[in-house]
């Protein structure tokens, strides 16, 4: 069903990382319904292929490409394939993320490294893959995903909050640098939204606390609507940052 707000969404080629569930999946569904072509990247090939088949079956245009965002060459292949198939890339949504909270004293070094590799390097690799095409086109929109944790640090979230703060800073640096190329930049900072993020927590007691917080979580489509809002603005309007939470989320 086409929404009345699709004036700047229909026909756009949108690449989405972390598209197999949660925010990425919800955004793929909404943008496809509004007439965008969606190119889905994630490690879980069966999930993105099933989603692409469903969207194509419903009259949309979708392509699934296995992608691990911790490998720059895989993210480049994702974007290159999108451009080879559809002729351009209009939006890069760097959405893949992990949230394995734990107190620093537990020394979960492997978790720290994975979080940095996905949440910071994965975003940089997405920018690296999309930017050359967007510069050439003199058009494009890069959308990065931070978090309320990029604005507020809490015990147990130090490394995750650091990565999401990094996304804010990278996004602002990018915003200033791409002015000559007519490229728009948006960073979204969601609060508790219903996704699989809490499942990435490896410490059972911390996972339990986060699950309690997530009882107030709002649907992933709340994020998809924010993406659609930023995308659907006229080309001379650049929505740089959206911070949102469930209405009853205090922190």
CA distance 92 to 71: 17
* DSSP letter assigned to residue 184: E
Q: Where does residue 4 rank: exposed (0-12), middle (13-18), buried (19+ CB within 10 A)?
A: exposed
The CATH number of whichever domain residue 132 belongs to comes to 3.40.50.720
Confidence of residue 213 (pLDDT cuts 50, 70, 90): confident
Mean pLDDT of 4-22: 88
> What is the strand order of the sheet 140-145 is part of?
61-66, 37-42, 13-17, 91-94, 140-145, 183-190, 241-244
Q: What's the confidence (pLDDT) of residue 197?
A: 87
Question: How many angstroms separate the most distant Cα atoms in the chain?
Answer: 51
227-249: pLDDT as tens digits: 999 999 999 999 999 999 999 99
90-105: pLDDT as tens digits: 999 999 999 999 999 9
34-77: pLDDT as tens digits: 999 999 999 999 999 999 999 999 999 999 999 999 999 999 99
- Strand, coil or helix: 168: helix
Residue 168's contacts (CB-CB under 8 Å, 6 or more residues apart) are 146, 150, 151, 187, 189, 241
Tell me if 19 is assigned to some domain: yes
Which of 1, 46, 55, 3 is CA-nearest to residue 26? 55
Tell me if 186 is assigned to some domain: yes
Q: What's the confidence (pLDDT) of residue 122?
A: 98
Which residues are part of the catalytic machinery?
160
Tell me if 1 is assigned to some domain: no
Tell me if 168 is assigned to some domain: yes
State how many domains the chain has.
1
Tell me if 231 is assigned to some domain: yes
Of the two residues 211 and 80, the one the predictor is more confident about is: 80
Q: What's the confidence (pLDDT) of residue 6?
A: 47
pLDDT exceeds cutoff 70 at 3: no
pLDDT exceeds cutoff 60 at 140: yes
Tell me if 206 is assigned to some domain: no
Beta strands in 46-111 (DSSP E): 61-66, 91-94
Q: Are 85 and 62 in contact (CB under 8 A)?
A: no
pLDDT exceeds cutoff 60 at 176: yes
- Around Cβ 109, how many Cβ atoms within 10 Å? 9
Domain range for residue 102? 13-195+219-244
pLDDT exceeds cutoff 80 at 1: no
- Strand, coil or helix: 67: coil
Angle formed at CA 48 by CA 57 and CA 109, multiple of 5 degrees: 165
Tell me if 85 is assigned to some domain: yes
């Amino acid at each position: 069903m086409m929404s009345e707000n699709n004036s700047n969404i229909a026909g756009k080629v949108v690449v989405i990382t972390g598209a197999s569930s949660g925010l990425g999946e919800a955004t793929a569904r909404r943008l496809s319904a509004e007439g965008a072509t969606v190119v889905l990247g994630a490690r879980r090939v069966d999930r993105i292929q099933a989603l692409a088949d469903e969207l194509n079956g419903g009259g949309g245009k979708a392509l699934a490409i296995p992608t691990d965002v911790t490998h720059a060459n895989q993210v480049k292949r994702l974007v290159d394939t999108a451009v080879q198939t559809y002729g351009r890339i209009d939006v890069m949504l760097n959405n893949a993320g992990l949230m394995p909270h734990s107190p620093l004293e537990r020394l979960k070094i492997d978790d720290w490294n994975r979080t940095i590799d996905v949440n910071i390097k994965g975003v940089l690799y997405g920018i690296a893959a999309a930017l050359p095409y967007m510069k050439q086109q003199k058009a494009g929109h890069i959308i990065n995903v931070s978090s309320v944790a990029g604005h507020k640090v809490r015990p147990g979230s130090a490394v995750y909050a650091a990565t999401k703060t990094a996304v804010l800073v990278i996004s602002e640096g990018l915003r200033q640098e791409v002015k000559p190329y007519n490229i728009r930049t948006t960073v979204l900072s969601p609060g508790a939204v219903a996704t699989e993020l809490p499942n990435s927590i490896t410490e059972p007691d911390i996972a339990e606390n986060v699950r309690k917080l997530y009882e107030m979580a709002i649907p992933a489509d709340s994020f998809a609507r924010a993406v659609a809002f930023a995308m659907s603005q006229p080309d001379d309007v650049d929505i740089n940052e959206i911070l949102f939470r469930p209405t009853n989320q205090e922190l």
